[in-house]
Amino acid sequence: MVLLVGAGLMINSVLRLQQVNPGFDPANVMNFDLSVSEGAPYVERLPGGDIERATPLVSAFYRQLLDKVTAIPGVESAGMISPFGFGYNFSVLGRPAPPPDKMPGTGFGEISPTLFRTLRIPLKKGRYLSASGLASAPWAAVVNETFARRYFPNEDPIGQRLLLRYTDLTEKQPRQIVGVVGDVKWYLGDQEPHPVVYVSYLQQGSDYLAEAS
């Protein structure tokens, strides 16, 4: 009896999950996890031990990986996204800067510009990130609908500039919002979507806080 009840509850949960709209099209999509090795030649620890610096080989590795995957027969598109970060804060240029402990928070996803089209995440306003957006160009960002509604309820988010901050590291240059995309439930347990900022992996600072061992 206990097994039958447990099986019934599990089936009911699976059926409910199948009815949830994740915000993207999962049809014919395959995903896998991959990361470069920590340490040389991809990452170097700076003097003092608290900061790690990614070398240019990191971006080159992922660029070549995407090119090779896209070239596989039958592959229509390939995209990439980093593990989501939820410890990010930001300030909006042109507004009074809040104290560090009062800054609004956001989720953060570092992606390849091809990700939105690969997963068919709908563009609601503006444009997607550009594949030609190199590190030397002005840094851009795309936000989701929840971010736009929460932080720009009576304003157009397109053209607004954000300065992102993660723990004690603030990005050295602002990012201009160029587009708004539909909300995505990246985790099945999410009841409501979180505000998210998406940025290109080609437009990143090189320094990161080292993980505690």
Number of domains in the chain: 1
Quick one: pLDDT at residue 133? 61
How open is the CA angle 21-89-133, to the nearest 5 degrees? 75
What are the C-alpha distances in Å from 90 to residues 31, 103, 147, 187, 204?
30, 6, 12, 23, 16
Contact 156, 119 (CB under 8 A): no
Across the chain, mean pLDDT equals 84
pLDDT at 9 over 60: no
Task: List the single range of 14-18, 180-184, 191-195 with lowest mean pLDDT.
Answer: 14-18
pLDDT at 11 over 50: no
Identify the DSSP state of 68: H
Quick one: pLDDT at residue 116? 95
Strand pairing report for 105-111 and 196-200: parallel
Quick one: pLDDT at residue 65? 93
Q: Collect all residues with Cβ–Cβ distance below 8 Å to 158 and sequence separation of at least 6.
A: 125, 126, 177, 178, 179, 180
Quick one: pLDDT at residue 5? 44
The range of the structural domain enclosing residue 55 comes to: 2-209
Q: Give 186-208 pLDDT, tens digit per residue.
A: 766 667 889 999 999 999 888 87
Q: Collect all residues with Cβ–Cβ distance below 8 Å to 132 and sequence separation of at least 6.
A: none
